Amino acid sequence: MEFLSKQFNTSRGAINLVLQTPESVKHGYDASNTSEFKVKPLDYRPDEQFHEYRFDWSPNKVEFFVDGKSIHAMTDQVPDSAGSLFLNHWSNGDPAWSSGPPNKDVAMTISYVKAYFNSTEQEKKDAYKKRCKKFDVEKVCEIPAQMVAPDAKLGGEQAAKTHFFSLLEGYTPGQETFMKSAANERWVKVPGVSYLPLLVAVVVAVGWI
């Protein structure tokens, strides 16, 4: 999910949705002429307040959301191997894609990043059974939806509901969670909450100044 400020006008913006496929690799990682590239209009400027951007990656599709509303789904050449999560801010001199360099300093502010991972591996499911006394293989916890822009400036509890899934009582019993130790700056496992089969969802709230 990528934003180009050159696509913003005085009141609206756009978001670029892309899957980097073998076809795009053949074109030097230029996916613009492939079926796994779509530019969707936004009815606001993305640099004016926080909004939540999310993608759900399941075996048969990658679906994209803005403030909890589905805007597009891709079902061809869905990735089937592990990847990494990157958040980049490009202000380079590329005249084609980013139309840089900018004529003044720019910044991107991220309010939060949430990543939910569900595994179909038997080892993971067995570990979940041991941690969760009320384990039910037929039930998978829903990912809480942020259906409006998560911006505290808008006022009201719903507008600023940016809490994490693990804070919802009873939703994630026994999950393995990690925090950074102040003593040695290493990530250590702490008691917490759990995951179950089948979905990767990443949600990011982003704003620019």
Digit-coded pLDDT (tens) for 91-135: 777 777 777 777 888 888 888 888 877 777 788 777 767 766 666
User: What does the CA dihedral 4, 11, 208, 46 come to, rounded to 10 degrees?
Assistant: -70
68 and 138 within one domain:
no
141 and 102 within one domain:
no
79 and 26 within one domain:
yes
CA separation, residue 176 to residues 53, 167, 172 (Å): 25, 14, 10
Q: What contacts 160, CB < 8 A, 6 or more positions away? A: 150, 151, 152, 154
100 and 31 within one domain:
yes
Note the pLDDT of residue 40: 96
First to last CA, the chain: 19
| Domain of residue 78, residue span | 5-108
pTM: 0.74
Q: Tokens 């990735």 appear where?
A: 79
Per-residue pLDDT tens over the stretch 150-209: 877 766 656 666 766 666 666 665 566 666 666 666 655 554 433 332 344 555 555 443
